[in-house]
């Protein structure tokens, strides 16, 4: 039930039905592809009415339940692709350890290709099918690509993927097994991104990159829609939602979903956002205070999914953080490793960029950004299987023993 598309730069409005709205649109015709990113606006009264007739509570337990808030025709929804409605783990012991009222872990690793990115890719591929595209492309630090390859395989269309040659092997393996054409770019993610855009223009491929294709952000938004519904069972809207930031589309998308649910009256207040970046790869705090990006730094982080020096969607991320009275904290690789263990001890297997959000909560608690009586929901954005080397680093070594009971006894004594 789209009302219009609005350019985030100049405010120009496009009707989704008018002839001048590009079909495989992407950007504002006046502002161009670099600045003219569009945003979907919905007729929320019509959505409310529709939900009265067909209540959410009775629907499909996947993100397709939000049909009215997705930029897809009814006939394009793919209920057969099980994406979203991921569980929330109420980590009571962790809350006690951190001295917080409540800590909720939303386990996005349980999506089809084991990361949050499936939300965006599933909607993107469904849209590509709707507009008759048979070839799709993206640049990615890994997860967006594997989720695109996964859904392209489900849809039977061709996926072209640009990754930095340093992407973790398990992510590459997933890509290749899903049958994508993989370009391992001998350069940074930023260079891979640029090259992908050029190739899309040159070959006419459908561009899945979230930063410029607003359809994808609508997929990411579903996490915010879901949180709004699910937290009712856990004491209501938490004081904070913690998310790690790379390009910034994830945090912006989650915020859009929460804000729509607030406007629709599903939740009566909004949480604050805690954005988390890695030390050494942290342009967002600067962008938040200066309204522009800093010169790209040369630092790096083990959290490859947020190893982004030039965030493509920094403006949307900064807007979301401002609207949410949000804060940004930075975490070291050591703190990320500790958070992988911490998350694991409470039943959720996190990749480094996912654990970074929890590491950020620990930092925010220590520095009293998050106060002792407050509650927080942490988006665990990807599975620990995504980067098994880092998981091994975090987990340490097993107890190596001879095959007899005496050895078990000795090992038990030594390890307790």
Let me know how many helices (H) and strands (E) the chain has, helices first: 15, 13
Q: Are 283 and 294 in contact (CB under 8 A)?
A: yes
Q: Residue 193: is it exposed, middle or buried by C-beta count within 10 angstroms (0-12/13-18/19+)?
A: buried
Give the pair of three-digit tokens for residue 30: 């006046």
382 contact choice in Zn ion, ligand PLP, none (CB below 5 to 8 Å, kind-dependent): ligand PLP
Q: Are 250 and 243 in contact (CB under 8 A)?
A: yes
117 contact choice in ligand PLP, Zn ion, none (CB below 5 to 8 Å, kind-dependent): ligand PLP
306 contact choice in ligand PLP, Zn ion, none (CB below 5 to 8 Å, kind-dependent): ligand PLP
Give the pair of three-digit tokens for residue 151: 């859904």
Site for ligand PLP, residues 218 to 247, rule: CB under 6 A = 244-247
Name 367's Cβ contacts closer than 8 Å, sequence gap at least 6.
329
Radius of gyration of the chain (CA): 21
Using rule CB under 6 A, residue 353 touches ligand PLP = yes
160 contact choice in Zn ion, ligand PLP, none (CB below 5 to 8 Å, kind-dependent): none
Question: Which is nearest to 306 in space by CA: 328, 338, 273?
Answer: 328
Is 45 or 169 the residue whose CB approaches ligand PLP more closely? 169
Q: How far is CA 301 from CA 145, 307, 342, 365, in A?
A: 19, 6, 19, 22
Q: Smallest distance from the beta carbon of 317 to ligand PLP, in angstroms?
A: 7
Q: Smallest distance from the beta carbon of 260 to Zn ion, in angstroms?
A: 22
248 contact choice in Zn ion, ligand PLP, none (CB below 5 to 8 Å, kind-dependent): ligand PLP
208 contact choice in ligand PLP, Zn ion, none (CB below 5 to 8 Å, kind-dependent): none
Q: Smallest distance from the beta carbon of 59 to ligand PLP, in angstroms?
A: 26
Give the pair of three-digit tokens for residue 231: 């937290």
Question: Which is nearest to 134 in space by CA: 210, 215, 198, 203?
Answer: 203
Using rule CB under 6 A, residue 107 touches ligand PLP = no
Q: Smallest distance from the beta carbon of 293 to ligand PLP, in angstroms?
A: 14
85 contact choice in Zn ion, ligand PLP, none (CB below 5 to 8 Å, kind-dependent): none
Q: Residue 124: is it exposed, middle or buried by C-beta count within 10 angstroms (0-12/13-18/19+)?
A: buried
Q: Smallest distance from the beta carbon of 11 to ligand PLP, in angstroms?
A: 24
Give the DSSP H/E element, type plus range, for residue 261: helix 249-263
28 contact choice in Zn ion, ligand PLP, none (CB below 5 to 8 Å, kind-dependent): Zn ion
3-state secondary structure (DSSP) of residue 353: helix
Using rule CB under 6 A, residue 391 touches ligand PLP = no
Catalog residues that contact Zn ion under the rule CB under 5 A.
7, 9-10, 12, 28, 30-31, 36
Answer for which of 240, 382, 384, 390 binds ligand PLP (CB under 6 A) is 382
111 marked among binding-site residues: no
Using rule CB under 6 A, residue 321 touches ligand PLP = no
Is 10 or 412 the residue whose CB approaches Zn ion more closely? 10
Using rule CB under 6 A, residue 117 touches ligand PLP = yes
188 contact choice in ligand PLP, Zn ion, none (CB below 5 to 8 Å, kind-dependent): none
Using rule CB under 6 A, residue 301 touches ligand PLP = no
Name 42's Cβ contacts closer than 8 Å, sequence gap at least 6.
1, 2, 3, 68, 69, 260
166 marked among binding-site residues: no
Beta-strand ranges (E) seen in 297-382 are 327-331, 375-380
Greatest Cα pair distance, the chain, in angstroms, is 79
Using rule CB under 6 A, residue 115 touches ligand PLP = yes
Answer for which of 68, 260, 351, 387 binds ligand PLP (CB under 6 A) is 351
Is 146 or 207 the residue whose CB approaches Zn ion more closely? 207
Using rule CB under 6 A, residue 146 touches ligand PLP = no
Using rule CB under 6 A, residue 307 touches ligand PLP = no
Using rule CB under 6 A, residue 136 touches ligand PLP = no
Task: Give residue for tokens 């992510």.
Answer: 171
Is 6 or 227 the residue whose CB approaches Zn ion more closely? 6
Name 104's Cβ contacts closer than 8 Å, sequence gap at least 6.
88, 89, 90, 91, 231, 234, 238, 375, 376, 377, 378
Return binding residues: 143, 381
Residues making up the binding site for pyridoxal 5'-phosphate: 143, 381
Residues that bind ligand PLP (CB under 6 A): 115-117, 143, 244-251, 305-306, 351, 353-354, 381-382
């Amino acid at each position: 039930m789209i009302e219009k598309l609005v350019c985030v730069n100049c405010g120009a409005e496009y009707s989704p039905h008018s002839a001048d709205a590009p079909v495989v649109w992407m950007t504002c015709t006046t502002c161009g592809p670099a600045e003219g990113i569009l945003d979907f606006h919905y007729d929320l009264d019509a959505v409310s009415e529709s939900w009265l007739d067909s209540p959410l509570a009775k629907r499909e337990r996947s993100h397709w339940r939000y049909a009215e808030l997705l930029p897809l025709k009814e006939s394009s929804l793919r209920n057969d692709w099980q994406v979203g409605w991921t569980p929330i783990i109420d980590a009571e012991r962790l809350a006690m350890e951190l001295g917080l009222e409540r800590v909720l872990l939303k386990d996005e690793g349980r999506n089809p290709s084991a990361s949050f990115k499936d939300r965006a890719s599933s909607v993107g591929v469904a849209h590509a099918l709707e507009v008759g595209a048979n070839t799709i492309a993206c640049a990615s630090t890994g997860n967006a690509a594997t989720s695109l390859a996964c859904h392209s395989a489900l849809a039977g269309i061709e996926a072209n993927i640009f990754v930095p040659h340093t992407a973790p092997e398990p992510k590459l393996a997933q890509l290749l097994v899903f049958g994508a054409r993989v370009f391992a770019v001998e350069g940074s993610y930023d260079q891979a991104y640029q090259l992908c855009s050029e190739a899309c223009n040159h070959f006419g491929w459908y561009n899945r990159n979230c930063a410029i294709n607003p359809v994808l952000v609508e997929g990411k938004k579903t996490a915010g829609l879901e949180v709004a519904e699910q937290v009712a069972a856990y004491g209501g809207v938490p004081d904070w939602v913690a998310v790690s930031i790379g390009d910034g589309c994830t945090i912006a998308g989650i915020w859009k979903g929460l804000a729509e649910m607030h406007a629709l009256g599903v939740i009566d207040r909004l949480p604050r956002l805690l954005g988390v970046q890695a030390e050494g790869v942290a342009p967002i705090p600067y962008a938040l205070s200066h309204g522009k990006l800093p010169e790209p730094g040369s630092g790096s982080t083990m959290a490859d999914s947020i190893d982004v020096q030039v965030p493509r969607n920094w403006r949307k991320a900064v807007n979301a953080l401002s609207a949410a009275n949000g804060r940004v904290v930075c975490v070291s690789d050591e703190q990320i490793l500790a958070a992988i263990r911490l998350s694991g001890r409470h039943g959720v297997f996190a990749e480094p960029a996912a654990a970074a959000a929890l590491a950020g909560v620990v930092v925010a608690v220590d520095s009293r950004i998050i106060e002792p009586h407050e509650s927080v929901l942490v988006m665990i954005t990807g599975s620990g299987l995504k980067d098994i080397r880092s998981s091994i680093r975090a987990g340490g070594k097993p107890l190596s023993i001879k095959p007899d009971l005496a050895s078990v006894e000795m090992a038990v004594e030594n390890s307790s």
